[in-house]
Every structure is written in structure tokens, then in C-alpha cells.
């Protein structure tokens, strides 16, 4: 099966090179690692197209554009393509980052299953401002969520694809197996793991005395900002730590760290996106409890390996095996679907209206809750 991952050249996230190999592609990323595990399962191309001014191709930029002003997101010598000049029919599935391919082109290639992620969507966006997706003639909206189960004919996504020619698909932004990063950096697999690497938001939270406490159990590996340096630190570290005082996060880096072979230690309340990847038995609320967990693991190699393998098996299943199976399954249904483009457009419009109604009800509900709060506050003050 042939798959293409495509982004616009002005999109701040992911790759600025498309080859000649997967390592070069990954190391060219401006920010995150992305769904690189797709290369293990499919004949997968990466493409960069020049920014398109059509309305749908600007939606993603409206979400994040103001936050990346001044960034050097298009390195000198990078190459992009004209979206109109690509032979899209060579692909079974195209996965766009934001809306990289305009609707007018999608309509020309009805045999392709068109999918998209929104970079800043996150695993909760389908229940909020991206409710009702997919739009713009696309067939599949990818939710960022862990794929915890395999699709069947009874699954909502499967039924929706058959009836509407459009569906949502639970698949994380980091599609990767428990060995993906080891395969990309094979020369690092022979090293004995030692020390710690922290999540991006955790380093500023680490006090001097806490750094000293950690040093008793290993070196603190501090990456520079490049993706490849982060990967190298993860591949040689024993633990990946989320500091108990850092702000809550979705936690994509946790998937990456587990794939790299680290044991992740994090409070569940700091990982709102993927808390189920963590082990309840390794929970902690403050730094002193974290040190106790590390002390216990350091004197019990069997426990360490057991907990590490438990996390790795979850990533293998939810971030690789199930997503790969499900996107194939959904494509097979798409390929058999006889629903017309007109019918798909009608269902898309219906989903948009229903989503706007739901958002309006949520807005009214929040407003009423706020008004009731103000009334109670006034009463208590009086």
C-alpha cells in the first residue's frame, strides 16, 4: 500500500527535507517527530508543497501562526513542489498535515482516501472546535488519540465510512512502534543505558538541589534543541521524567521516549493526553516521592524491566499495531464504498450544522454556569 505524508512549506511543524532516507527526514524536523512509524508498515513518501492561498489551506495557520512569527521554519536550500503537479493517483492514502492539499485537487482523485491531522488539534479537539470533522471533501479526520481497539464492521468509524464516505480515526500524531527510533539510530543500541532525560517543560522546573539528588542515580542528559539530539538523549537514558511541578501537557514526548526505550516516570495529572501509558504503581505527587520511585527501581532490575516492557507493549499496540491495522481496514471499506461525492458533501454539511448547534449549546451552558456563579458570589458577599 502506498501512503504519502504531505505538508505545506510554511507549516512550522515536522520535516523540511523529504529524503533520501527516513533518518534525514526525521532529523530535518522543525519541532516534533511525527508519524514516522508509517514507514515501517507501508511504502511511504514524504512531500512538501508550496503554501496554497485557498481558504482551507490557511485554516491550520490561523491556529498557530502568531506563535511562530520569526521562526526559521524554511531552511536555506529546502525544496517544495507545486501541489498541482504531483501525480496523486499513485497513492492509496494521503495524510495531510493540517489542510495541505486544497479541495479542488481532492475532487480530481476520488480513488484516493484523503486524511488529515490538525497539528494543534490534540486528542480532545474532535469534541470541541473540530467537531464534525472531516471537512473540505476529505474522507478521514485523524484524532490524535491512542488506537486502543481494532476496527470491526460494527465500529462507528467503519459504519460512517460505508454510509457517508467520511469518518474519524483514532490514531496518534506519533505513530511508532516500540523499536522505531532504535531502527533509525542503530549505532546507539549497543550502549548501556544510564541517567535521565526530562520532558521539554520539565528542565526549567528542576531546582538545583533536585538536580543534585538525581545525580546520585545517574547523569542528567540535557538535549540541545535539535530533534536528533533529543532522540540521542532518549536512546541512551534509563528514565524519561516529567517534573511534578511542570504544567500539564498532552505528552507526545512520552510516546517517543517509550519507543526509544526509556521508562517514563510522570504524574498522571500532568499528562492529560495519554495518562493510560503510565503505570499506576509508579505514581508520585512531588519530587521526594519521585526519588523514592527511582531508588526502588534502581535496586530492582526485574521490576524496572517489567515496568518498562509494560509501557513499550502499550506503545506497540496503541501507537503502531492497531493504527496500522485500522487505517488499512478503513481504506478497504472506503475502496468498496459506492457513496457519491454529492452525498458525502451533504453529510459533511449536516455534520457541520450539528457541530455548530452543539458548540452553541456548550457556549450557552458555560454562560449560564458563569452567571449562576456570579449570582452566588454576590449573595455570599451580601
Instruction: Express each pLDDT in 273-293 by its tens digit.
Output: 999 999 889 999 999 999 999
Q: Which of 257, 127, 255 is nearest to 193 (CA)?
A: 257
How many domains would you assign to the chain?
Answer: 2
What is the residue whose three cell numbers read 511511504? 44
Grid coordinates of 192: 548501556
Upstream peptide bond of 20 is cis (omega within 30 degrees of 0): yes
Please tell me the predicted confidence (pLDDT) of residue 75. Answer: 87
Residues 218 and 105 in one domain: no
Residues 306 and 208 in one domain: yes
Exposure of 372 by Cβ count < 10 A (0-12 exposed, 13-18 middle, 19+ buried)?
exposed
Please tell me the predicted confidence (pLDDT) of residue 361. Answer: 60
Please tell me the predicted confidence (pLDDT) of residue 376. Answer: 40
Exposure of 94 by Cβ count < 10 A (0-12 exposed, 13-18 middle, 19+ buried)?
buried
Model pLDDT for residues 146-192, shown as the tens digit of each residue: 999 999 999 999 999 999 999 999 999 999 999 999 999 999 887 78
Q: Is 261 left (phi over 0), alpha (psi -120 to 50) or beta?
A: left
Please tell me the predicted confidence (pLDDT) of residue 371. Answer: 47
For residue 382, is it within any domain?
A: no
Give the global pTM. 0.91
For residue 373, is it within any domain?
A: no
Residue 334, pLDDT above cutoff 50: yes
What is the average per-residue pLDDT within 100-109? 97
What are the Cα distances from residue 169, in Å, to 28, 90, 151, 155, 284?
27, 23, 10, 11, 33
Q: Residue 259 sits in which domain range?
A: 180-314
Q: Please check whether residue 90 is in contact with residue 6, taking contact to mean a CB–CB distance below 8 angstroms.
A: no
CA distance 308 to 119: 29
What are the Cα distances from residue 223, in Å, to 68, 229, 233, 236, 373?
21, 6, 6, 12, 46
Model pLDDT for residues 12-39, shown as the tens digit of each residue: 999 999 999 999 999 999 989 999 999 9
What is the average per-residue pLDDT within 329-334? 98
Residues 295 and 273 in one domain: yes
Residues 290 and 331 in one domain: no
Amino acid at each position: 500500500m502506498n501512503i504519502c505524508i504531505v505538508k505545506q512549506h510554511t507549516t512550522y511543524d515536522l520535516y523540511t527535507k523529504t529524503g533520501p532516507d527516513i533518518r534525514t527526514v526525521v532529523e530535518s524536523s522543525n519541532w516534533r517527530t511525527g508519524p514516522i512509524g508509517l514507514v515501517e508498515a507501508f511504502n511511504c513518501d514524504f512531500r512538501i508543497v508550496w503554501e496554497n492561498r485557498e481558504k482551507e489551506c490557511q485554516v491550520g495557520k490561523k491556529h498557530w501562526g502568531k506563535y511562530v512569527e520569526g521562526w526559521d521554519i524554511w531552511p536555506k536550500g529546502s525544496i517544495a513542489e507545486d501541489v498541482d503537479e504531483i501525480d496523486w493517483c499513485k497513492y492509496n492514502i494521503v495524510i495531510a498535515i493540517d489542510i495541505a492539499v486544497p479541495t479542488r485537487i481532492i475532487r480530481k482523485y476520488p480513488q484516493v482516501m484523503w486524511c488529515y491531522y490538525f497539528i494543534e488539534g490534540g486528542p480532545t479537539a474532535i469534541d470541541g472546535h473540530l467537531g464534525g470533522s472531516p471537512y473540505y471533501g476529505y474522507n478521514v479526520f485523524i484524532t490524535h488519540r491512542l488506537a486502543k481497539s481494532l476496527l470491526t464492521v460494527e465500529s462507528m468509524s467503519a459504519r460512517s465510512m460505508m454510509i457517508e464516505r467520511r469518518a474519524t480515526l483514532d490514531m496518534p500524531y506519533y505513530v511508532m512502534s516500540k523499536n522505531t527510533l532504535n531502527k533509525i539510530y542503530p549505532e546507539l543500541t549497543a550502549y548501556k543505558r544510564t541517567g535521565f532525560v526530562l520532558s521539554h517543560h520539565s528542565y526549567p522546573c528542576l531546582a538545583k538541589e533536585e538536580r543534585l539528588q538525581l545525580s546520585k542515580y545517574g547523569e542528567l542528559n540535557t538535549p540541545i534543541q535539535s530533534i536528533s539530539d533529543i532522540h540521542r538523549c532518549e536512546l541512551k537514558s534509563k528514565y524519561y521524567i516529567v517534573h511534578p511541578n511542570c504544567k500539564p501537557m498532552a505528552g507526545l514526548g512520552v510516546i517517543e521516549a517509550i519507543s526509544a526505550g526509556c521508562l517514563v516516570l510522570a504524574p498522571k495529572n500532568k499528562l492529560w493526553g495519554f495518562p493510560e501509558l503510565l503505570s499506576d504503581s509508579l505514581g508520585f505527587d512531588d519530587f521526594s516521592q519521585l526519588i523514592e520511585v527511582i531508588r526502588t527501581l534502581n535496586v530492582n532490575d526485574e521490576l524496572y524491566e517489567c515496568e518498562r516492557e509494560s509501557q513499550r507493549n502499550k506503545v506497540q499496540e496503541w501507537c503502531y499495531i492497531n493504527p496500522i491495522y485500522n487505517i488499512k481496514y478503513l481504506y478497504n471499506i472506503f475502496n468498496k464504498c459506492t457513496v457519491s461525492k454529492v452525498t458525502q458533501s451533504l453529510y459533511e454539511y449536516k455534520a457541520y450544522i450539528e457541530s455548530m448547534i452543539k458548540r452553541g449549546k456548550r457556549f450557552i451552558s458555560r454562560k449560564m454556569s458563569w452567571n449562576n456563579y456570579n449570582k452566588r458570589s454576590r449573595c455570599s458577599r451580601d
